[in-house]
Structure 1
Amino acid sequence: MSRTVSTTPAAPRTPLRRARDGWLDHLRVERGRSEHTLQAYRRDTDRYLSFLHGAGVREPEEVREKHVTDFLAHLRRGDDEHRPLAATSAARAVVAVRGLHRFLAAEGEVPADPSQEVQPPAPPRRLPKALPVDAVERLLQAASVGDTPAALRDRALLEVLYGCGARVSEAIALDLDDLELGRAEDGTGGVVRLFGKGSKERIVPMGRYARDALDAWLVRGRPAMARAGTGTPAVFVNARGGRLSRQSAWTAIKTAAGRAGLKDDISPHTLRHSFATHLLDGGADVRVVQELLGHASVTTTQIYTHVSTQHLREVYAQAHPRARG
């Protein structure tokens, strides 16, 4: 039994549609766009031309900015034939529409580009994924299976990523002179000097767990690996004595996540996200977290406050007498 597939009805063969077909020919012949891309542009602009036809627009020069913005609103709202489009899908359609009008303006077919000021809708910003505290603890424990130099290194690496909120590039770039481990007898953890984006330097406190893991690696693990190298100052080294690579750091985390039974996609940045989220959950000021993360603007850091909203809800539900029926 055959099924009827609903498609956007093709607009009549107006001057606008002929202009659109000329644009697609230009993309195919002169720009070498793939057939898959051309088909997507054709689908998006078919719907756009049908929309313009319904608005009484027949000529390219009749299109105004309002028509483009109204079409964008139409995409997000949907109609009897189409479901509302998400921001990402609507943005793709608007990109096609803008490409068409930019081409017509460049070819002198119209005096100006009516879509020039119309911005595609921004996709919703994905909230960073943070692990629960107990999952982080399982991950860190899983990184130190055995007492081999590699196990000591991987535990120290993960403790620095989580305990200092370091980016993986910052962690593998650490040199011995960037560490101040503090004193074990008074329980202090010391500090670490990180170099972030644009080589911007920041000093980050180091917790006791990170300090102890680094101390174990530097005393019992690194000398065995560094002997194979050429005297590198790198804190984290590989089996050949050279500086640990980003890929090897990722592998260490993936291996530990597998051992810990964590099925979600875990990356070095997951530990950085967890660092920030757990600080805010514990009552840290967002501007302090900004400094610890090395963000140039507090706006970047504030995305983590949305993650912590769930924690606030949980506390409210447990503590407020009118939270539950």
Structure 2
Amino acid sequence: MDWRSAIKGFQAYLRLEKSLADNSVEAYSRDIERLCQFSDIQIVKLKPETVTLTDLRNFITWINELGMIATSQARILSGVKAFYKYMLMEDLVKTDPSELLESPRITRKLPDTLSYQDINKLIAAIDLSKPEGPRNKAILETLYGSGLRVSELTELKLSNLYLEIEFIKVAGKGNKERLVPIGGEAIKAIKIYIENLRVHIAVKKGEEDIVFLNRRGGRLSRQMIFLMIQGLAQTIGLNKAISPHTFRHSFATHLVEGGADLRAVQEMLGHESITTTEIYTHLDREYLKSTISQFHPRS
């Protein structure tokens, strides 16, 4: 089997069997493209089914010599492991050469978060006199009030808003749906946006059920939301590199700091594994340590 055919089959598997979004499929494909490039520079060209554990270890050495940081290496190896899991399942290989492959050790970086005061300042900086003002306020209130990923926000549907019972239905990674509670401030902002602004937008065909629209009636891009948040940060002089994901981290951190059950936070964030959510307990510990340093007389 040649690499092109193998990658094409892998892409179909990711889309149809794993229900991954196009961005995720592209990311996994790039990982295998790297392995294909490595194969091309070998004296004896490798085929997908002839790759061995030794070849993969040499591949790790190669991407390391290219100057890739440990997190990038780990991301590529994750894609390679998924590829050979697919190959084994389809009987295209007899054994999985990546099974005993160890990922590089990486230190887990704690995500940046915002204080409640900073979030209030960002929301207060929105110019509500502009046509997009109420929409932008609803976006920030929803990101912080429900901990959504930015892709979940851009795909949020009117038919999935259950504001009367304070819940929204979200399509997360792998199109897995979950019900997420939404706070009163976010509900109020969404209602104002829908009733006073969205009703006057000429909606594009096929976008009728999308909640947040641009002025041309199409759904917002992730980049547009990123730039909006960056602009607000500059307005208030916030010296932090923030993104839509910062609001998700802040949502989770503030819940944990307030004593929320980790399993409940896991459910709201849509994490498959509790270990992913546990990073917020580390953030909580950092918060406690800084509190002691600041206020304890012996510190």
Q: So what's the TM-score if we normalise by structure 2?
A: 0.65
Q: Which has the higher contact order (CA 8 A, sep 6+)?
A: 2
Do residues 121 (structure 1) and 97 (structure 2) align? no
Do residues 161 (structure 1) and 135 (structure 2) align? no
Given the superposition, is the C-alpha separation of residues 138 and 29 from structure 1 closer, same or farther in structure 2, using an over 3 Å criterion? farther
User: Is the 2:266–2:274 Cα contact (8 Å) retained in structure 1?
Assistant: yes
Q: Which secondary structure state, in structure 1, belongs to the residue aligned with residue 197 of structure 2?
A: helix
Match of 1:140 among 119, 123, 136: 123
Given the superposition, is the C-alpha separation of residues 118 and 251 from structure 1 closer, same or farther in structure 2, using an over 3 Å criterion? closer
Do residues 181 (structure 1) and 155 (structure 2) align? no
Residue identity opposite 1:165 in structure 2: G
Residue identity opposite 2:198 in structure 1: R
Residue identity opposite 1:146 in structure 2: L
Structure 1 segment 51-70 matched on structure 2, within 5 A? none
Residue identity opposite 2:132 in structure 1: A
Q: Which secondary structure state, in structure 1, belongs to the residue aligned with residue 132 of structure 2?
A: helix
CA–CA distance in structure 2, aligned partners of residues 296 and 28 of structure 1: 38
Residue identity opposite 1:235 in structure 2: V
CA–CA distance in structure 1, aligned partners of residues 122 and 142 of structure 2: 13
Residue identity opposite 2:138 in structure 1: A
Residue identity opposite 1:242 in structure 2: G
Residue identity opposite 1:133 in structure 2: Y
Offset of residue 27 of structure 1 = 3.5
Do residues 199 (structure 1) and 199 (structure 2) align? no
Do residues 150 (structure 1) and 132 (structure 2) align? yes
Residue identity opposite 2:110 in structure 1: L
Listed one character per residue, the Cα deviations across residues 175-234 of structure 1 (whole Å, up to 9, x for unaligned) are 11111223xxxxxx7111111011111111111110111111011111122x25346111
Aligned residues: 223
User: Is the 1:166–1:293 Cα contact (8 Å) retained in structure 2?
Assistant: yes
Offset of residue 120 of structure 1 = 5.4
Offset of residue 296 of structure 1 = 0.9
CA–CA distance in structure 2, aligned partners of residues 136 and 217 of structure 1: 19
Listed one character per residue, the Cα deviations across residues 260-313 of structure 1 (whole Å, up to 9, x for unaligned) are 222211111111011100100111111110011011111110011111112222
Offset of residue 318 of structure 1 = 6.7
Q: So what's the TM-score if we normalise by structure 1?
A: 0.60
Given the superposition, is the C-alpha separation of residues 198 and 121 from structure 1 closer, same or farther in structure 2, using an over 3 Å criterion? closer
Which structure: larger Rg? 1
Residue identity opposite 2:272 in structure 1: A
CA–CA distance in structure 2, aligned partners of residues 134 and 279 of structure 1: 15
Please, which runs of 5 or more residues in structure 1 have no aligned partner?
1-23, 32-39, 45-86, 96-115, 183-188
Structure 1 segment 155-304 matched on structure 2, within 5 A? 155-182=137-164, 190-225=166-201, 227=202, 229-230=204-205, 232-304=208-280
Identity score, percent: 40
User: Is the 1:149–1:224 Cα contact (8 Å) retained in structure 2?
Assistant: no
* Residue 324 (structure 1) aligns with: 298
Given the superposition, is the C-alpha separation of residues 237 and 140 from structure 1 closer, same or farther in structure 2, using an over 3 Å criterion? same
User: Is the 2:112–2:242 Cα contact (8 Å) retained in structure 1?
Assistant: no
The alignment's C-alpha RMSD in Å is 3.5
Structure 1 segment 307-318 matched on structure 2, within 5 A? 307-316=283-292
Given the superposition, is the C-alpha separation of residues 242 and 263 from structure 1 closer, same or farther in structure 2, using an over 3 Å criterion? same
